[in-house]
Amino acid sequence: MRIGVLALQGAFIEHIQMLTSLGAECVEVRSIADLNGLDGLVLPGGESTAQGKLLRATGLWAPLREGILAGLPVFGTCAGLILLSATIANDDRRHLATMDIETERNAYGRQLGSFFTYADFAGERIPMSFIRAPYIRRVGQGVEVLSVVDGRIVAARQCNMLVTAFHPEITDSTAVHRYFLDMVKANKA
């Protein structure tokens, strides 16, 4: 499986390390040519405003959006979740906006900007690391909720799109990446 990891800004190395340990071949995506032959795509955490600007500056915005709308499996963590959100409650910007969710950025306030907890993801108890994280305020029809922490939705899936508000790539649990690779496998079959 050939997985592209958007490498314009943010925490992409950790995703590459985890996916490689699970047997995937990873490609750092920085230009349109890097999109050739991908079976899946990861949008890492970082800063969504910066990433959104870079997506447009590199010309990646349109082909990425078309690919996702055509069914390319995609996994967005944190800022990546914000890039995929149809609406952002506290921000007028829209980025790829392919997933029917409404997100709130920096949703945990200053003191709780970063925290660590354990919660269920798709039925498995896993460590979750939140870093100035968003949460999902609303999901549309056809969006499956995969994790809830303190009454807030922090992981969800809609068809080929998987998002987490937390950073599974910096913990020792591979559950979320395995879940994503299963989506990629199913799509390829």
Closest CA to 58 of 22, 88, 34: 34
CB 43 within 8 A of CB 6: yes
Chosen residue from 132, 137, 152, 178 binding ligand GLN by CB under 6 A: 132
Radius of gyration over alpha carbons of the chain, in Å?
15
CB of 79 to ligand GLN, least distance (A): 4
Residue 95 lies near ligand GLN (rule: CB under 6 A): no
For tokens 């709130």, the residue is 104
Which residue among 14, 78, 95, 177 is the active-site one? 78
Residue 105 lies near ligand GLN (rule: CB under 6 A): yes
Which residue among 15, 26, 104, 167 is the active-site one? 167
Show the DSSP H helices in 7-47 as ranges. Answer: 12-21
CA distance 186 to 189: 5
Q: What would the x/- binding string for ligand GLN be over residues 26 to 55, using CB under 6 A?
A: -------------------xxxx-------
Number of residues that bind ligand GLN (CB under 6 A): 12
Angle at Cα 41 formed by Cα 129 and Cα 175, nearest 5°?
A: 40
CB of 187 to ligand GLN, least distance (A): 25
Burial 14-50 (b: 16+ CB within 10 A, else e): bbbebbeeeebebbebeeeebbeebbbbbbbbbebee
159 is catalytic: no
Residue 78 lies near ligand GLN (rule: CB under 6 A): yes
* Residue positions counted in the chain: 189
Residue 7 lies near ligand GLN (rule: CB under 6 A): no
Residue 79 lies near ligand GLN (rule: CB under 6 A): yes
Q: What would the x/- binding string for ligand GLN be over residues 106 to 125, using CB under 6 A?
A: x-------------------
Annotated active-site positions, please?
A: 78, 167, 169
Q: Interface residues with ligand GLN (CB under 6 A)? A: 45-48, 78-79, 82, 105-106, 131-133
